[in-house]
């Protein structure tokens, strides 16, 4: 039964790929698929990105659209579940015949979407899939239809290790990471490879754990100068809170998964001091492009955007730039244009797509003071 289902799915996708180009260029609108985590454990990321996508499309359509056509969003909720992610990707690519897909938000979910989008030859732009392997297959060959606008985990790990040593003067580091997460594993490996001091303690937890008191008590006695927590906000917020309650007052380092309002809700403002993480975007920038985005976002959604909103916004504008350069809504032509992207100026920085479909760009390091962000390095 399983083999039959896979065969039928492949046949459906093949037909879609063969017939999709002509229909996409002759359609009245240009359809963009949205495969995001609108519910479930990481919905904070998905909904922030959905809002970034919606704002970008609204702005573009108000200016007349692209190639004389309006953009049409097909928004589906993948429920933060890899099985649902794959189902959504298949529906968007084969049934809805979208020209391209934005999302998912997390690396694991991006990987779950790739088989369907590759089979249908539809480009997927990952706003925040930072795992180094997202754009590469198991044979270390580039995934032909997968691109990202964010920096990679190896880069995050390297810059946080350098910041710990050079700016915080750390000589001894401890690491508490999610053993079930490829995201955490990649960040941990990069940090350990780059940190020249001693790793005095390395402990693990599992996704959805809520009580970290025992492991934090154990780590406290190791004499660390910094604590590195390469995880997502839903566990990281609780870890930071419990670390401070346990008397761990050293600087805490994180990754881009810390960048969510939910982190503040979970940890509490008083726990969020001397907490540092790399960010893709800073609302403190005085660039007109950034300030216009902030104004328009607040007007539309009545709240502040975060880096995930900005990355998704950039994803749409990068896609539109590729459509214009390709002079086509055909998925294959858009893919070729994305591959040729050079020095594209987005909200989150100037980016060039390299041979492995990664965005070559810089990062900002943020410090939290009573839960409020302050830029400390760029």
Q: List the one residue out of 128, 87, 122, 84 whose CA is nearest residue 104.
A: 128
pLDDT band at 22 (very low <50, low <70, confident <90, very high): low
Per-residue pLDDT tens digits for 112-162: 999 999 999 999 999 999 999 999 999 999 999 999 999 999 999 999 999
Exposure string of 123-153, with b = 16+ CB inside 10 Å and e = fewer, is: bbbbbbbbbbbbbbeeeeebbebbbbbbbbb
Q: Does one domain contain both 209 and 244?
A: yes
Q: Does one domain contain both 93 and 196?
A: no
Q: List the one residue out of 72, 93, 92, 91 whose CA is nearest residue 29.
A: 72
pLDDT of the residue at 292? 97
Q: Does one domain contain both 266 and 300?
A: no
Answer whether residue 14 shows pLDDT above 70: no
Contacts of 319 by beta carbon, 8 Å cutoff, 6+ apart: 32, 100, 102, 123, 125, 334, 338
Q: Does one domain contain both 301 and 271?
A: no
> CA 285, 355, 323, 300 torsion: positive or negative?
negative
Per-residue pLDDT tens digits for 289-348: 999 999 999 999 999 999 999 999 999 999 999 999 999 999 999 999 999 999 999 999
User: Is residue 366 a contact partner of residue 167, using CB atoms and an 8 Å limit?
Assistant: no
Answer whether residue 349 shows pLDDT above 80: yes
DSSP 258: G
Range(s) of the domain holding residue 157:
153-279
Q: Does one domain contain both 40 and 169?
A: no
Q: How far apart are CA 96 and CA 213, in angstroms?
A: 48
CATH of the domain at 308: 3.40.50.2300
User: Does residue 160 fall inside a structural domain?
Assistant: yes
Asked which of 20-34, 40-54, 62-76, 362-376 is least confident by mean pLDDT, the reply is 20-34
Answer whether residue 3 shows pLDDT above 50: no
Answer whether residue 1 shows pLDDT above 50: no
For the chain, the domain total comes to 2
Note the Cα 100 to chain centre separation in Å: 17
Q: Does one domain contain both 225 and 245?
A: yes
Q: Does one domain contain both 231 and 245?
A: yes
Q: Does one domain contain both 143 and 175?
A: no
Residue positions counted in the chain: 378
């Amino acid at each position: 039964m399983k083999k039959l289902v896979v065969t039928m799915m492949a046949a459906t996708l093949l037909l879609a790929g063969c017939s999709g180009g002509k229909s996409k260029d002759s359609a009245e609108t240009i359809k963009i698929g949205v495969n995001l985590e609108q519910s479930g454990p990481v919905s904070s990321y998905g909904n922030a990105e959905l809002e970034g996508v919606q704002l970008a499309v609204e702005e573009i359509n108000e200016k007349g659209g692209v190639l004389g056509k309006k953009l049409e969003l097909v928004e589906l909720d993948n429920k933060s579940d890899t099985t649902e992610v794959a189902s959504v990707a298949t529906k968007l690519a084969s049934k809805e015949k979208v020209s391209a897909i934005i999302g998912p938000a997390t690396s694991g979910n991006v990987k779950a979407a790739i088989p369907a989008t590759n089979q249908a030859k539809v480009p997927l732009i990952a706003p925040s899939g930072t795992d180094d392997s997202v754009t590469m297959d198991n044979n270390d060959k580039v995934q032909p239809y997968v691109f990202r606008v964010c920096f990679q985990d190896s880069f995050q790990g390297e810059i946080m290790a350098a910041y710990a040593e050079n700016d915080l003067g750390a000589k001894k580091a401890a690491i508490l990471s999610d053993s079930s997460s490829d995201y955490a594993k990649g960040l941990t490996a990069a940090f350990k490879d780059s940190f020249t001091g001693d790793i005095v303690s390395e402990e693990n937890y599992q996704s959805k754990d809520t009580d970290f008191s025992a492991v934090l008590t154990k780590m406290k006695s190791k004499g660390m100068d910094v604590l590195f927590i390469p995880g997502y906000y839903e566990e990281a917020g609780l870890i930071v809170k419990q670390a401070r309650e346990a008397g761990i007052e050293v600087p805490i380092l994180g990754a881009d998964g810390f960048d969510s309002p939910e982190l503040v809700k979970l940890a509490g403002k008083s726990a969020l001091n001397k907490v540092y993480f790399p960010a893709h975007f800073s609302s403190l920038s005085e660039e007109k492009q950034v300030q216009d985005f902030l104004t328009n976002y607040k007007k539309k959604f009545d709240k502040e955007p975060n880096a995930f909103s900005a990355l998704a916004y950039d994803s749409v504008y990068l896609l539109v730039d590729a459509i214009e350069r390709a002079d086509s809504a055909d998925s294959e032509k858009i893919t070729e244009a994305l591959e040729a992207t050079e020095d594209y100026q987005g909200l989150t920085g100037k980016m060039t797509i390299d041979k492995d479909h990664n965005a070559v760009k810089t990062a900002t390091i943020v410090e939290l003071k009573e839960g409020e962000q302050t830029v400390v390095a760029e």
